[in-house]
Structures are given as structure tokens and as C-alpha cells.
């Protein structure tokens, strides 16, 4: 007989509470949620599948979480899709990953357009393959007038690189007289980052049990609540997402005073 301490393969723990939209206070939904979508390779390995199968499954989860975010009124959803470190992976895996934006947008761009989602990409775009850039540019153009959820993919993104590039640009603008040293403050510095016109994330979610930032939005996450789960990204469901938000809201009430 299985009790709540038994491990059930591919199943949630017995008695673990599951969360739904009804558990969320719609008046204090985090405006900006950032997610490190980790555990795709491990998900595949557990099933004896190639790593790319995990990436493909993870792509379907992106669609679910975008929909859920839109429904509860999240303003910005930033998803860490590819880090500057990811180039070190086997060439075949990198090649596959670089096809995912096309596949994702090929299936879902029409829905994103009708759901009023605006697609953006944050990262060093120059190094991306032309076919990837074409798909992304089309999505950004087709959704640029949308004023609903901002779906911000961090792609070929690294936070230290972003900060250094911001500093270089500030120095340039100072040297050419556009900027005075006395004008440099936290607010101005934020304007020189790739997230320039976005508010800082309120909530960071990282899946698959890793408890690190891995060079993700170091400046922007200064005041965010962090929420971690052992659930692998391809297994991540709406109920896990709602749990993160319920926990975020509970923390807010505790610190908001009595």
C-alpha cells in the first residue's frame, strides 16, 4: 500500500496539495515573473530519451505557462531559454535548440497574436543563426502592437555581459557629452540594461532543484522573491505555477505587517 512517504514514479506525492487559479488573490499577482526553465535534459535521461526530447517537451510547457500568466494578469513573463554558457553543449544539441523558436512560433504565434501577447527577446542576438532570428523578428513584428502580456525570452543572455555592455555604453555617452557623471544612478543604470523598459521581476522561479542564479538578471532580481521546486521543467504544470504565486502572496502578507 502506498502511503504519502512512498515515491510514486512520475506522480505527485499522495496528499500533496494542488493549486488552482482560485487560490490566487488576483489583486496582488506579481507583475513580472522570471523563470529559469531547468531540468529538461534530466527529464529525458530518466526516460532513456535523448536530451532534445526534454527540450521539446519543455517547449510545450512554455505554452501552458504563458496561457496561465495571461489569464491571471501577469504583465511580464521572462523565460530563460538559452544562456551564453549553453554554446558549450554538443553542437547537435545547440543546433536543435536554435530550431525551437521556429517550431514554437510556427505552432503558437497565431494564438499569441489573438491573445494580445507581445513577444520580445533579450540577449545577444548577433550570434544567433539567421533562421532563428528570422522567426523571432517576425514574431516581434507581428505582436508589437499587442499591449497584453509581454513574453520576454532571454536568449543568448548572460547578466554579467549585459552589465559590462551597459557600463561601456554609459562611458561612451559620458565621453560624448550625452551624459554627466552626476546623472549616473540606479535608475539610469537600469535604462542601459537589456530589460530597460521593463519593471524588475517580483518573483523568480527555478525548476529542477538547482538553487542558483546562474548569471540570470543579477541586477534586476535584487528585490525579487525566489521560489524553487524539485519539479523538472517538462513536468511543470499550471498547479506548480499557481503554488509559486500563492507562496509569493503569502510572503507578501507576512512582511506587509499584521
Q: Which of residues 132-161 bind ligand V0D (CB under 6 A)?
A: 136, 139, 153, 155
Cα(140)–Cα(127) distance, integer angstroms: 18
Residue with cell 559590462: 164
Active site residues: 38, 86
For ligand V0D, the binding residue among 39, 58, 158, 166 (CB under 6 A) is: 58
Give how many residues touch ligand V0D by CB under 6 A: 21
- Least Å from the CB of residue 37 to ligand V0D: 4
Nearer to ligand V0D, 133 or 163 (CB): 133
79 in Cβ contact with 61 (< 8 Å): no
The binding track of 14-43 with respect to ligand V0D, each residue x by CB under 6 A or -, is -----------------------x--x---
For ligand V0D, the binding residue among 24, 29, 65, 97 (CB under 6 A) is: 97
Q: Which one, of 252, 249, 231, 251, lies nearest residue 16 by Cα?
A: 231
Residue with nearest beta carbon to ligand V0D: 58
For ligand V0D, the binding residue among 19, 43, 157, 233 (CB under 6 A) is: 233
Nearer to ligand V0D, 36 or 74 (CB): 36
- Least Å from the CB of residue 101 to ligand V0D: 4
Cα(162)–Cα(188) distance, integer angstroms: 15
Q: C-alpha angle 236/239/240, rounded to 5°?
A: 45
**CA of residue 225 relative to chain centroid, distance:** 14
Report CA torsion sign: 118, 57, 207, 249: positive
Helix, strand or coil for residue 33?
strand
Q: Which residues pair with 206 in a beta bridge?
A: 36, 228
Q: Which residues bind ligand V0D (CB under 6 A)?
A: 37, 40, 55, 58-59, 62, 81-82, 97-98, 100-101, 104-105, 119, 121, 136, 139, 153, 155, 233
Amino acid at each position: 500500500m502506498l502511503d504519502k512517504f512512498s515515491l510514486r514514479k512520475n506522480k505527485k506525492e499522495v496528499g500533496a496539495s494542488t493549486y488552482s487559479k482560485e487560490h490566487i488573490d488576483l489583486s496582488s499577482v506579481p507583475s513580472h515573473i522570471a523563470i529559469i526553465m531547468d531540468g529538461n535534459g534530466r527529464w529525458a535521461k530518466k526516460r532513456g530519451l535523448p536530451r532534445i526530447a526534454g527540450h521539446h517537451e519543455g517547449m510545450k510547457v512554455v505554452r501552458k505557462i504563458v496561457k496561465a500568466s495571461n489569464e491571471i494578469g501577469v504583465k511580464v513573463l521572462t523565460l530563460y531559454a538559452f544562456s551564453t554558457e549553453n554554446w558549450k553543449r554538443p553542437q547537435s544539441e545547440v543546433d536543435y535548440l536554435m530550431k525551437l523558436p521556429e517550431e514554437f512560433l510556427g505552432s503558437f504565434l497565431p494564438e499569441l497574436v489573438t491573445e494580445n501577447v507581445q513577444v520580445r527577446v533579450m540577449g545577444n542576438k548577433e550570434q544567433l543563426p539567421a533562421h532563428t532570428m528570422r522567426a523571432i523578428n517576425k514574431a516581434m513584428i507581428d505582436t508589437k502592437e499587442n499591449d497584453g502580456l509581454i513574453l520576454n525570452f532571454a536568449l543568448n543572455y548572460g547578466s554579467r555581459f549585459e552589465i559590462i555592455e551597459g557600463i561601456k555604453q554609459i562611458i561612451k555617452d559620458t565621453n560624448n557629452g550625452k551624459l554627466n557623471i552626476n546623472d549616473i544612478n540606479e535608475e539610469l543604470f537600469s535604462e542601459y540594461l537589456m530589460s530597460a523598459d521593463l519593471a524588475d521581476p517580483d518573483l523568480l522561479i527555478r525548476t529542477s532543484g538547482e538553487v542558483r542564479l546562474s548569471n540570470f538578471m543579477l541586477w534586476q532580481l535584487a528585490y525579487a522573491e525566489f521560489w524553487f521546486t524539485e519539479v523538472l521543467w517538462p513536468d511543470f504544470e499550471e498547479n506548480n505555477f499557481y503554488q509559486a504565486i500563492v507562496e509569493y502572496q503569502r510572503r507578501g502578507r507576512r512582511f506587509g505587517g499584521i
